[in-house]
Chain A
Amino acid sequence: MNIKKVLIANRGEVAARIIRTLKEMGVASVAVFSEPDRHSLHVRMADEAVGLEGTTSRETYLDVEKILAAARKTKAQAIHPGYGFLAENPEFAERLEEEGIVFIGPKPEAIRKMGHKTTARQLMTEAGVPVIPGTLEPVRTLEEVQRLAEKTGYPLLIKAKAGGGGKGMRIAEGMNDLASAFRSAASEALQAFGDGDVYLEKLVSKPRHIEIQVIADTFGNTFHLLERECSMQRRHQKVIEETPSVVLDDTMRERMGEMAVRAAKAVGYEGAGTIECLVDENRNFYFLEMNTRLQVEHPITEAILGVDLVRMQVAIARGERLSLDQPNIKGKGHAIECRIYAEDPDNGFLPSPGLIRSFRVPGGPFVRLDSGVFEGAKVPIYYDPIIAKLIVWDETRPLAIKRMVRALGELKIRGIRSNVSFLLDVIQSKAFQTGDYDTRFLDTHWPELKEESEKELPPEDVILATAATVRFRQEQIQRGLGQRRAAGAQASFWRYTPWKALR
């Protein structure tokens, strides 16, 4: 099908990123927007835009019927869901099929199978894809736990079936603390979720999160596009991603890639997707889950391969054949991505919505900023705090790190707080420089990292003198304005400075 118009059921940086590719392909773009998002970048960039009545995600970007109505109204032939919101909702993909609108993504069945933890685990095991040893069947008696623990091996995790947020989860280091870990996990699960069922999973030591990008056309041609290292996380939220991973050699990369292709084929996958894995300290890897959509960190793959994943997605949706040759898919150089969040690292990472008063974008060779904001944009309180992604490429990892430090230094976001200073601390840490980090690194080491970080500041004299000068200048201007105002002039020069608060 020749897709000429695509509706983007998303907002923010990812919507803007998709629109850019559509423009290059000569495909018209339709934005949808909630009431607070009328001024957003994706609306300004799109060819057409349809307002969704309401404010919250649920009322707008998650409302299937409103989005369908927008697609019908604009006669969009396809919908790109971006990531988040409806991207992994099989019912949404099904509704589009019924309506004769192309969903730029896999078939609903593939989303459903991969979205269901037990089913996915079963299917992966059948396909010969390694999963974390353990059981997904609930275990109810201590005898059963003891018997299964022998098979799984220690240390192991006892997890609530209905769990989440670390509740109803206990680590058993060995046989001796198995009974107490089982009892407290089960009782906590019962308390928190009204369901005391628990299951066992082997505890992966020093886990690294490494994922494989896969891409498949509608003819069953399935390829992998190498890995992304995403172990630098804060509370399970990825912070910095890079590719290649320092722990993979070519043999392991090939093994993981083959595994990822098998996993995708097992569900008849079409389009771009990501197989997320845990890799332990002995470099054993286990399937964690599949993200059946475009990933936030996809630009680092684009950087080392010189491809446009969104363009590939649209081509696949049009029914085009992928003409790739797996042995020739080789990455060049090193790419790093930093996620820029509107949050305050000096204040417990509290979200920091509000008006972006000043926004300076870094430049220079091989620096890419995928942003959803601009100077004068308002970051609303209702949605995810990600506002931009900074991606750099260079020939080697050490050079790419230096380039990222330089680019982060150039990026200026004022009016709201951002995590840029935090990213600078992390990327300059010894752990990141050496590549020796796992998914728990930031949660355990961030406080000391913050202590250690040395900031080069101007001499105190210069800071004090500048502050006094700013005030002095301000008063001079106000005095001048006062005189001019007396003469009937407009007083709009220094708009942002509420000096009145002082008096």
Chain B
Amino acid sequence: MGYIVRLNALKQRLEVEKPGLGLARVLVRFEDGRTIELDAHRVEPNCFSVIVGTRVYEFDCDIQNGDIELHFGNEPLIVSVLDEREALLQQAKEGAAAQGGEVTVTAPMPGKVVAVLVAKGEKVEKGQGLAVIEAMKMENELKSPIEGVVLKIFAQEGQALEGKAPLITIGQATALP
């Protein structure tokens, strides 16, 4: 199977093959033809023990919105793994979003909306506070990632939030009805 794998700025097309050496063994071929062989065992529900040569590594994996989040020790490593069809789709989506210039700010954690600091249609600067949410005795201000206009407000004061719940959409004035 071919995958487009991205770690920070690094992007590679990888081919995963089963060389028939046993269930847990895979051969991974890189773009330039190099291969490495992994003995990868799922030792806990979300934890892989990997031996490359004789070197032992242990990775935990979280899967969030299509990204695979591997943890090595206490370091989170966000790796996106897409198959070829998904990679094409994503390219198309990113292009469209860049054109529309729309961003939806979401709750970074579960909590409660303490205050909504902007009104629909209001112009906002990049870095301007949009809403204040409270979790675990701390209040946190969420800031606008771009300059633009408030298109939609999902958040209501006093409302309890799940993590990643959409709060406010910022976009271009032309998108207002």
Could you list which residues of chain A lie within 8 angstroms of chain B, going by C-beta atoms? 342-343, 346-348, 350-354, 357-358, 381-385, 408-409, 412, 414-415, 418, 420-421, 424, 455-458, 460-473, 475, 495-499, 501-502
- A466 and B47 contacting across the interface, CB-CB below 8 Å: no
Number of B interface residues, CB 8 Å?
55
Which stretch of B59-67, B115-123, B147-155 is in the interface?
A: B59-67
List, in ascending order, chain A residues with CB within 8 A of B163's CB.
354
Q: What 15 additional pairs, Cβ within 8 angstroms, besides A384-B137, A467-B81, A496-B63? A: A343-B136, A348-B140, A350-B109, A351-B109, A351-B111, A357-B62, A381-B112, A409-B73, A462-B36, A464-B14, A466-B50, A466-B57, A466-B70, A469-B48, A473-B42
Which stretch of B3-11, B96-104, B124-132 is in the interface?
A: B3-11
- A498 and B109 contacting across the interface, CB-CB below 8 Å: no
- A351 and B135 contacting across the interface, CB-CB below 8 Å: yes
Could you list which residues of chain B lie within 8 angstroms of chain A, going by C-beta atoms? 1, 3, 5, 7, 10, 12, 14, 16, 26, 28, 30, 34, 36, 38, 40, 42, 44-48, 50, 52, 57, 59-63, 65-66, 68, 70-77, 79, 81-82, 86, 108-112, 135-138, 140, 163
15 intermolecular pairs with C-beta atoms under 8 Å apart: A346-B76, A354-B110, A358-B46, A381-B109, A414-B62, A415-B62, A460-B7, A464-B7, A465-B14, A466-B38, A468-B3, A470-B40, A470-B61, A471-B68, A501-B65
A254 to chain B, nearest CB (A): 39
- A466 and B40 contacting across the interface, CB-CB below 8 Å: yes
List, in ascending order, chain A residues with CB within 8 A of B52's CB.
462
What residue in chain B is nearest A419 (Cβ atoms)?
B74
List, in ascending order, chain A residues with CB within 8 A of B62's CB.
357, 414-415
When A and B form their complex, what is the total count of cross-chain residue pairs whose Cβ atoms lie within 8 Å? 150
- A353 and B36 contacting across the interface, CB-CB below 8 Å: no
List, in ascending order, chain B residues with CB within 8 A of A501's CB.
65-66
Q: How far is it, in angstroms, between the C-alpha of A465 and the C-alpha of B28 when the chains are bound?
A: 6
Q: Tell me what chain B mostly uses at the interface: helix, strand, loop, or mixed.
A: strand
Neighbour of A351 across the interface among B46, B73, B136, CB < 8 A: B136
Of A350, A458, A465, most buried by chain B (CB within 10 Å of CB) is A465
- A353 and B135 contacting across the interface, CB-CB below 8 Å: yes
List, in ascending order, chain A residues with CB within 8 A of B61's CB.
470
Q: How far is it, in angstroms, between the C-alpha of A348 and the C-alpha of B141 when the chains are bound?
A: 11
- A463 and B68 contacting across the interface, CB-CB below 8 Å: no
A386 to chain B, nearest CB (A): 10
Q: How far is it, in angstroms, between the C-alpha of A470 and the C-alpha of B16 when the chains are bound?
A: 10
Q: How far is it, in angstroms, between the C-alpha of A473 and the C-alpha of B1 when the chains are bound?
A: 11
- A468 and B16 contacting across the interface, CB-CB below 8 Å: yes
Q: How far is it, in angstroms, between the C-alpha of A453 and the C-alpha of B152 when the chains are bound?
A: 41
- B48 and A466 contacting across the interface, CB-CB below 8 Å: yes
- A412 and B108 contacting across the interface, CB-CB below 8 Å: no
What residue in chain B is nearest A348 (Cβ atoms)?
B140
List, in ascending order, chain A residues with CB within 8 A of B68's CB.
467, 470-471
- B38 and A465 contacting across the interface, CB-CB below 8 Å: yes
With A350-B108, A467-B79, A470-B48 known as contacts, the answer to whether A457 contacts B74 (CB < 8 A) is no
- A457 and B75 contacting across the interface, CB-CB below 8 Å: yes
B115 to chain A, nearest CB (A): 17
Q: How far is it, in angstroms, between the C-alpha of A473 and the C-alpha of B14 when the chains are bound?
A: 14
Q: How far is it, in angstroms, between the C-alpha of A358 and the C-alpha of B44 when the chains are bound?
A: 9
- B57 and A462 contacting across the interface, CB-CB below 8 Å: yes
Q: How far is it, in angstroms, between the C-alpha of A103 and the C-alpha of B65 when the chains are bound?
A: 50
With A342-B136, A461-B30 known as contacts, the answer to whether A498 contacts B63 (CB < 8 A) is yes
With A358-B60, A464-B10 known as contacts, the answer to whether A457 contacts B77 (CB < 8 A) is yes
What residue in chain A is nearest B63 (Cβ atoms)?
A497
Neighbour of A382 across the interface among B12, B77, B136, CB < 8 A: B136
Q: How far is it, in angstroms, between the C-alpha of A192 and the C-alpha of B42 when the chains are bound?
A: 56
List, in ascending order, chain B residues with CB within 8 A of A470's CB.
40, 48, 59, 61, 68, 70, 81
B130 to chain A, nearest CB (A): 15
List, in ascending order, chain A residues with CB within 8 A of B112's CB.
381
Q: How far is it, in angstroms, between the C-alpha of A381 and the C-alpha of B63 when the chains are bound?
A: 22
- A350 and B140 contacting across the interface, CB-CB below 8 Å: yes
With A462-B52, A498-B63 known as contacts, the answer to whether A455 contacts B75 (CB < 8 A) is yes
List, in ascending order, chain A residues with CB within 8 A of B82's CB.
502
Q: How far is it, in angstroms, between the C-alpha of A348 and the C-alpha of B68 when the chains are bound?
A: 23
Q: How far is it, in angstroms, between the C-alpha of A158 and the C-alpha of B63 when the chains are bound?
A: 51
- B136 and A385 contacting across the interface, CB-CB below 8 Å: yes
B16 to chain A, nearest CB (A): 4
